[in-house]
Amino acid sequence: MTQNLLQKRNYKEQLAKIAQRDFEKGHIVLLGDCVFEHMDIDRYFNRLIVYNNGISEDTTTTLLESLYKRAIKYKPRKLFISIGSHDLAYDNLSVKEIYQNIIDITTEIQKRSKETEIFILTALPVNPANKSYINRDVVDRVDNFEVNMLNYYIKNYARRNHIKVVDGYKHLKNDLDQLCLDYTTDGFHLNDTGYTIMSNLIKQCV
């Protein structure tokens, strides 16, 4: 089975698990891509009720298509959204098109889950270091200039619309505006240290 087919199967399986899960409304939901799917909820949020609705390979397009199942029906008290990185790597969308999809996502949630407080995570940069463990298939597809541009748009939109931003980019980058190697397993995904920092940023908001 090819990698692409494995990814599609994983997406469908994770979406089915989320759709079939028993849940209580009014709690915390993590929504989006691999930044959340790989986060150990029991380890980092053991005293909070948190539903992890992150799915690896998620894009703004697939998130829009599954928004009701993964966010709106939960009527969350607080909703954290991490999305856009896989768009930059794999989808043939411009930064402005990705940004517009993020606007559409937040607007739909605000319209259909009016009591939900939304937090948007900044997109994380990659690190293209010449190391054997770097995942070149993903890292070489992402331009950190576009990551910066997307984050610029996100922050401006959030400021104008009174939406809060969780700025993981600021806390996880190195002096070259790349993902710090101390926080990543492969130049793209976070390791335990990276997740500790990210989860602490989120917990400051809950």
Asked whether residue 11 is domain-assigned, the answer is no
Whose tokens are 């010449």? That residue is 130
Residue 13 lies in a domain: no
**Predicted pLDDT of residue 7:** 72
Over residues 41-61, the mean pLDDT reads 94
How high is the pLDDT of residue 9? 85
Q: Looking at residue 2, what is its pLDDT?
A: 56
pLDDT of amino acid 134: 97
Does 174 fall in a domain? yes
E-assigned strands of the chain?
Answer: 28-32, 50-54, 78-82, 117-121, 164-166
Q: What is the pLDDT of residues 158-180, one digit of tens each?
A: 999 999 999 999 999 999 999 99
d(CA 61, CA 57): 11
Has residue 12 been placed in a domain?
no
- The predicted pLDDT at position 190 comes to 98
The pLDDT tens digits for 12-43 are 899 999 989 999 999 999 999 999 999 999 99
How far is 191 from 13, CA to CA, in rounded Å? 24
Whole-number pLDDT of residue 204: 96
Residue 137 CA to its chain's centroid (Å): 19
Cβ neighbours of residue 152 under 8 Å, at least 6 residues apart? none
Q: Is residue 101 part of a domain?
A: yes
pLDDT recorded at residue 202: 97
**pLDDT tens across 103-156, in order?**
999 999 999 999 999 999 999 999 999 999 999 999 999 999 999 999 999 999
Does residue 9 form part of some domain? no
* 183 part of a folded domain: yes
Cα angle at 194 between 62 and 90, to 5 degrees? 30
Question: Do the domain assignments include residue 5?
Answer: no
Query: At which residue do the structure tokens 């576009």 appear?
Result: 146
Q: Assign 110 to helix, strand or coil.
A: helix
Q: What is the residue range of 119's domain?
A: 25-203
Six-digit token pair at 143? 């331009």
Number of domains in the chain: 1
* Global pTM value: 0.95
pLDDT digits (tens, 9 = 90+) for 77-95: 999 999 999 999 988 899 9
Q: What is the CATH number of the domain that holds 33?
A: 3.40.50.1110
Which pair of structure tokens corresponds to residue 101? 């999809």
